[in-house]
Amino acid sequence: MGKHSILTKKNNQSYGGIGLISQGIIFIFLFCNLIASGQANCVGRFLNPISDICWKCIFPLKIAGVEIVKGNPSPKGSNSPICSCPSKVLRVNVPGIPISFWEPVRLIDVTRTPYCLVNMGGKQIASMGVNGRGDVEEDPSNGTHHSFYHVHWYIYPVIYWLEVLADFICLDNSSIDLSYLTELDPLWSDDEKSLIINPEAGLFGRTVAQAACVADCLAASVKLPFDSLFWCNGCQGSLYPFSGTVTEHMGGVQASLLITGRFMAKLHREGLLFGTYGIKGLCDKYPMPIIKKSQYRLQMTYPIPTSRHCYALGHTEFMWQGNKEFPYKGSDFGYLVWRKRDCCLRAIP
């Protein structure tokens, strides 16, 4: 009999047990080495909600149609002094006062290291099952660069936790949660498969459609992006396809902003993000299968928090990207997503 038959011999069962234990120890050792090797590429930091958040980005604050505090350019909301919404308790319309503000609600990682939680201190939760770290590569045929990023999406209703405004029904009262990882999404890593949810992508790859993004870039940098140009992410490029591939990589900040916009557009198409502003948003969130970019603003949280500014989707990164990307610890990115909120503030929800 071969030497492996020792496990079947009754008088040597103890040796079999030791063999199994040894195999288990070796497996754990190898697994930990895999985690450690991946961890070496995983960088990040926890967001300090006091010092790292641009708290002035909450404004403008409007109550009853009157602007109480001025702030960033915002999409048009309700100017009425009163509103009414159906009550879940009384089952009748209850009058209220319209209130409008910007709310920080989500965190997003944009990383080239799979399963690396950038906004959670640079912790890697897995190291197997997907391709390794993606590098920026040059296309020898035309000299352009391309890259690939994964995205992690967190629920992060920081205003509700800190009670910065007040504990009322207009705030997102969810708890922190890691709600989406693109490593588990087969559409994110395959441009062709992503056409399942954005079949119109081919229509907006033409020169004329892309030329229109110049106007969107100017509008987003001065005031607000054009929601009508829904295929553009302003100065960063095209929102299509809804995948992690950047075919014209001009820098990490540009690429990460583009990936963030694409991912949010993808969530809207999948029915996972909703409209929250305007008259329609006073009573509840509403379906928005095509993203309205003016509803959002972004603030960098990693590697260098932009704690004094937040920017519209598509806003040029040229004036503020300096020193925001550097080797090793500065090649992955984190952002805080601000969402415009119009709400009917009522005494009875």
Whole-number pLDDT of residue 153:
98
Structural domain contains residue 288: yes
Q: Write down the pLDDT at residue 30.
A: 36
| Predicted local distance difference test score (pLDDT) of residue 23 | 41
Q: Are 145 and 248 in contact (CB under 8 A)?
A: yes
Helices (H), 189-333: 207-211, 213-222, 252-269
Residue carrying structure tokens 């690396």: 116
- Predicted confidence at residue 40, as pLDDT, reads 60
14 and 124 in a single domain? The answer is: no
| 213 & 325 share domain | yes
pLDDT of residue 171: 81
The reply to whether 126 and 25 lie within a common domain is no
What pLDDT score was predicted for residue 255? 97
Within this chain, do residues 141 and 249 fall inside the same structural domain, yes or no?
yes
Task: Please give the structure tokens belonging to residue 117.
Answer: 């939680």
Chain Cα centroid distance, residue 274: 14
Do 110 and 36 belong together in one domain?
A: no
Residues 161 and 285 in one domain: yes
pLDDT given for residue 26 in this prediction? 35
Q: What residues have CB less than 8 Å from 60, skipping those under 6 apart? A: 67, 68, 69, 70, 71, 72, 74, 100, 101
Predicted local confidence at residue 47, as pLDDT: 95
| pLDDT given for residue 142 in this prediction | 77
- Asked whether residue 166 is domain-assigned, the answer is yes
pLDDT tens-digit profile, the chain (349 residues): 444 443 333 444 433 443 433 444 333 333 344 444 445 689 999 999 999 999 999 999 999 999 999 999 999 988 889 999 998 888 899 999 999 999 999 999 999 999 999 999 999 998 766 655 577 888 877 778 999 999 999 999 888 777 665 556 788 878 889 999 999 999 999 999 999 999 998 888 778 888 999 999 999 999 999 999 999 999 999 999 999 999 999 999 999 999 999 999 999 999 999 999 999 999 999 999 999 999 999 999 999 999 999 999 999 999 999 999 998 889 999 999 999 999 999 888 7
pLDDT confidence of residue 174? 80
Q: For residues 3 and 336, what is the distance between their CA atoms, to the nearest angstrom?
A: 59
**Which pLDDT score, from 0 to 100, does residue 203 have?**
87
Which of 237, 336, 236, 225 minimizes the C-alpha distance to 291? 225
Answer whether residue 266 is part of any domain.
yes
Give me the number of domains the chain comprises: 2
Residue 94 lies in a domain: no
CA distance 198 to 262: 11
Burial environment of residue 103 by CB neighbours within 10 A (0 to 12, 13 to 18, 19 or more) = buried
Q: Residue 210 domain-assigned?
A: yes
Shared-domain flag, residues 215 and 317: yes
* Shared-domain flag, residues 129 and 249: yes
- Nearest alpha-carbon partner for 149 in 200, 106, 103, 183: 183
CB 177 within 8 A of CB 154: yes
Q: Which domain holds residue 27?
A: 1-40
Count other Cβ atoms within 10 Å, centred on residue 73.
Answer: 12
Rg (CA), the chain: 24
pTM of the model: 0.86
Counting every residue written for the chain, the total comes to: 349
Strand, coil or helix: 196: helix
Q: Within a domain: residue 323? A: yes
254 lies in some domain:
yes
234 touches 313 (CB < 8 A): yes
Beta bridge mates, 95: 84
Residue 46 lies in a domain: no
Tell me what pLDDT residue 41 has.
83
Same domain for 181 and 34? no
